[in-house]
Structure 1
Amino acid sequence: MKILFVTPECAPYIKTGGLGDVSGALPATLAALGHEVRLLMPAYSGMKVSGEVGDTVEIPAQGPWPAAQLLPVKAENGVTLLLLACPSLYQRAGGPYVDATGQDHNDNALRFGFLSRVAAALGTAASPCGDWKADVVHANDWPCGLVPLYLAQARALAPHEPAAASVMTIHNLAFQGVFPMALADTLGIPVHWRGIDGVEFWGQLSMLKGGLQFADAITTVSPTYAREIQTDEFGVGLQGVLQARADRLTGILNGIDTRLWDPAKDPLIPHRYSAADLAGKALNKAALQKRCGLSVDRDAMLFGIVSRLTSQKGIDLVLGVLDSMLAAGGQLVVLGQGEPALQDALLTAAHAHPASVSVASSFDEGLAHQIEAGADCFLMPSRFEPCGLNQMYSQAYGTPPIVSATGGLVDSVIDATQNPLTGTGFEMRSPDLAGLEEALDRAMSTWRNAPAWAQIQRNGMGQSFGWTESAARYLEVYQRAIDSSRA
């Protein structure tokens, strides 16, 4: 199968969250299964890419779309990167979505509309890569939301030249790519697709809604989240669209890249260890406490957080239980950035309790690995969580997580209280302060029982969170999308 995976970010080249990790791992797994995979993404400033470089493909200017180039690079993982080089759109300070001040780039609609336009072209007879035409184009999140619409448009204009099938994956429904409807002309959206059955969302244009309306198949990143987003509570205004297209919606739990996240081989942690020999776990805890300036105390239960610091992630709940956690002899290490009020509150706590609380408000991949390896327990009290990856990393590293009962957290963590023989973590019984306090009490009580805790650690480390099974499910979705588009 010829698969085009289009994404605004991909680890290790550029990453802001879980989408970057998925983009780095899923296409590589599909390539390892024997498929011809190309990954299209913008060529941002400062990206470091290595591999065999192919011939540059010129994309001439057309209408509002600028001239650009596609630079093919055959990466070591078997995926061919197609780097979309357009300096006026992508070579600038800041990240993929925001400028150096943290504000959205004011032309994001054009930047990602162009990415979607090029992606769709690679699935048509007019593919800029000549004889390479995708069988299926896998679009990810709102920046790629117009891909299915453009492919549907191509089919309508040339019905005898079948365009590629489209698959739209929702990584987080809360981000929808909403822009003024006045941009519809610039983006080339047909007038008859600008209404409620097209891209219109409360009088504006939603790129993600366009993807959901026109995709041959829709996926999201866990089975539970696929059900949740069809409800008023989690649907963020798009629940009606998702209910109407429920027959095309599939929830597939993300995997993790076990080449990068394996405590027996991880070069970013001081001491390697495995489920068969957990001795290195205590050594990593001491090393983490020392690095973060905490008291090096084996009898202090060390909790870890690697997260965006937002209310969605339940960071306000963590602040609410922090005093009781410290009073019970706990410690806390936090890595992340986010809402200023929450970030400042955590920094204030670290200043008040330097031997027990450490907060690093930056991105540090090495520290992220060391927290997973050194913490006793990981905190993820998210109010909603489409999939989540850190709860999987934590289990793989023998760091039982405390999670809320939502999305991919439900699908990947087995509550040790209800399932003492197979449990891998602790599930909150309510998504609030009382629920987190109760789950903390259970976890701290169990941690004091060393044999019981070791069993939970080994259970988690025995889980299979690799990408192979999930990739096989994506292949099934791709084939259904191809069959549907041809029908």
Structure 2
Amino acid sequence: MAQSPPPSDVPTLEPSRLRVLMACSEAHPLVKTGGLADVASSLPIALRQLGHDARLVMPAYPKAMRQVREPKPLCTLALPGCRAQIGIVEGRHPDHDLPVYLVDAPEHFTREGNPYTDLTGRDWGDNAERFMLFCRAIVELAQGLPALGWRPDVLHCNDWQTGLAPALMHGLPEHPARIFTIHNLAYQGLFDRATFDRLNLPPSLWSLAGIEFHQRMSFIKGGIIFSDRVNTVSPTYAEEVRTPRFGCGLDGLLRQIGNRFSGILNGIDYQVWDPASDPLILQTYDAERFEMKAENKLDVQREFGLPRSEDAFVLGYIGRLVEQKGVDLILAILPELLRDPRVQLLVVASGDRKTEQALVKIAEENPRQIGVFIGYDEVRAHRIEAGCDAFLMPSRFEPCGLNQIYSLRYGTPPIVHRTGGLADTVTPATPERLGNGTATGFLFDEPKPESLLHAVRQAMHLYREHPQGWRRLATTGMSLDLSWEASANQYLQLYADAIAERQSQAATALA
């Protein structure tokens, strides 16, 4: 018997030309607070390089509006619960041929600085309303606006800020396959029942089978429940979040959805992060010219006001100052580390104000050994990766992590806690692995100061006593292929699975 054609309201999969709408609350370089922004631009760019039609939608923050190329108003939307009409601005990514749609809602997004917090570091009081509006706009674009002349086969949502978009599509006769990626399960978009009522959401969503979570509403649960496929950003983290220790209360749900949930390791964009061609560093180098890395060490020491010395063992840290990242472990070992005058630490970070102040204070007390920049600076980030000898990443948990992958590429062996994506990307410097040339960094098992200190001392010993072994360790990391192409191909398979699921559901509904 001949098979019936798929229903007309279901997008058919064309392997040679898949249409993907990537929805995210930030994207580099338009707006960036962390690794989420790198993924949001790098993945659709990689998909386009593989021949697919990927596009990005994000809020029209002032910084994004200033940077997007060739911006032009596309259309306006009248969204439920919003007094003003919402504009859609079409443009191009600043550095690539990636179409970008900006959701222009000045009352919600025209705020300088952080997309999520005010100048004091506190969450914006109307974040639920802001990202609900963003989710409603995502749904409109995903259904195919006439002004776009384009309709995606796949809607790919990322983190809690987009989590209600799949939920709002539930029950619609026409919608694309839905993918939801969890970049960090600890941030869930939790709000009280009064907020749920104020947002005029369908009452049916307030249930255990919906977005209710311990008498609160959960944006991220909406993405998990109502998407065809759910993934997180490393295989190890996918296993970890199915346990009570790392599951943040959602481990039972993630176990329940079974093979709808998986882990795909993030990649990095080697056009941006490559010491052989990086325009932001003083001296380019590669594994064959590893000795030229030393010029960047002297340059970054100068930039941070430290004595220029090739003999110093220079550690770097770039990241947010939150408990997850284990910065308190670094602070705890500094008094012991700084007993050695040949140890230096360079930091580019922001977050918890007390931790910021503690770092600034210890830098002032040790001006020849510690350099600190509070905030995020892309140029300094590249120069730390290129100029430091080793990179500290003692995260208590780490869904994927990108800085350790940058460090590997730049021949700056990472010192990491064995968790999540850190465990998936760094091969420990055991005697056996050092001997067979597979080691790429240093791992410790317990997020405790003494464990981190032991790993740092192990790194210092190899660096000082076995320089050829250190070079082999560093250049082994540089030779790894952790580009986006492999990850993008895994996402394409995930999209194919989600489309097949969507088609199956639609066929069942019509039967």
* TM score, norm. by length of structure 1: 0.95
Q: Deviations over 1:325-382 (max 9, x none)?
A: 2223311111101222222222221111110111111222111111101100100011
Q: How far apart are 1:128 and its partner, in Å?
A: 5.2
Q: How far apart are 1:429 and its partner, in Å?
A: 3.0
Match for residue 433 of structure 2? Answer: 419
Q: What secondary structure is seen at the aligned counterpart in 2 of 1:308?
A: strand
- Report the residue type matching 2:364 in the other structure: H
**Aligned counterpart in structure 2 of residue 107 of structure 1, from 109, 114, 126:** 126
Q: What secondary structure is seen at the aligned counterpart in 1 of 2:288?
A: coil
Q: What is the count of residue pairs matched by the alignment?
A: 480
Match for residue 177 of structure 1? Answer: 189
Q: Deviations over 1:425-453 (max 9, x none)?
A: 00113221121121112111111111000
**Aligned counterpart in structure 2 of residue 334 of structure 1, from 342, 347, 361:** 347
Q: Distance in 2 between matches of 1:406 and 1:65?
A: 46
Match for residue 98 of structure 2? Answer: 79
Contact 2:79–2:137 (Cα < 8 Å) also in 1: no
Q: Distance in 1 between matches of 2:312 and 2:111?
A: 46
Q: Work out whether 1:21 is the aligned partner of 2:38.
A: yes
Match for residue 135 of structure 2? Answer: 116
Q: Which structure 2 residues correspond to residues 132-171 of structure 1 after superposition, within 5 A? A: 132-154=150-172, 158=173, 162-171=174-183
Q: Deviations over 1:70-125 (max 9, x none)?
A: 11114452321011111111112332111233221211111111111121222326
Q: Which structure 2 residues correspond to residues 311-390 of structure 1 after superposition, within 5 A? A: 311-328=323-340, 329-390=342-403
Q: Work out whether 1:41 is the aligned partner of 2:58.
A: yes
Q: What secondary structure is seen at the aligned counterpart in 2 of 1:25?
A: helix
Q: Distance in 1 between matches of 2:68 and 2:256?
A: 44
Q: Work out whether 1:401 is the aligned partner of 2:414.
A: yes
Match for residue 6 of structure 2? Answer: none
Q: How far apart are 1:269 and its partner, in Å?
A: 0.7
Q: Distance in 1 between matches of 2:137 and 2:68?
A: 23
Contact 1:308–1:337 (Cα < 8 Å) also in 2: yes
Q: Work out whether 1:450 is the aligned partner of 2:467.
A: yes
Q: What secondary structure is seen at the aligned counterpart in 2 of 1:419?
A: helix
Q: What secondary structure is seen at the aligned counterpart in 2 of 1:46?
A: helix
- Report the residue type matching 2:134 in the other structure: L
Match for residue 445 of structure 2? Answer: 429
Contact 1:151–1:166 (Cα < 8 Å) also in 2: no
Q: How far apart are 1:257 and its partner, in Å?
A: 1.1
Match for residue 296 of structure 1? Answer: 308
Higher mean Cα deviation, 425-434 or 201-210?
Answer: 425-434
Q: Can you give the 5+ residue segments of structure 2 that lack an aligned partner in the other structure?
A: 1-17, 505-511
Q: Which structure 2 residues correspond to residues 245-256 of structure 1 after superposition, within 5 A? A: 245-256=257-268
Q: Deviations over 1:49-74 (max 9, x none)?
A: 34344561121254446411111114
Residues 62 and 190 of structure 1: CA distance in aligned 2, closer, same or farther (over 3 Å): closer
Alpha-carbon RMSD across the aligned residues, in angstroms, is 1.6
Q: What secondary structure is seen at the aligned counterpart in 2 of 1:81?
A: strand
Match for residue 306 of structure 1? Answer: 318
Q: Can you give the 5+ residue segments of structure 1 that lack an aligned partner in the other structure?
A: none
Q: Distance in 1 between matches of 2:143 and 2:68?
A: 28
Q: Deviations over 1:159-201 (max 9, x none)?
A: xxx3111111001101000112223344343222211121111
Q: Deviations over 1:22-49 (max 9, x none)?
A: 1121111111111111211111113323
- Report the residue type matching 2:89 in the other structure: L
Q: Work out whether 1:242 is the aligned partner of 2:254.
A: yes
Q: Distance in 2 between matches of 1:129 and 1:211?
A: 27
**Aligned counterpart in structure 2 of residue 98 of structure 1, from 117, 123, 131:** 117
Contact 1:123–1:151 (Cα < 8 Å) also in 2: no
Q: Distance in 1 between matches of 2:461 and 2:92?
A: 51
- Report the residue type matching 2:469 in the other structure: A
Q: Distance in 2 between matches of 1:429 and 1:238?
A: 24
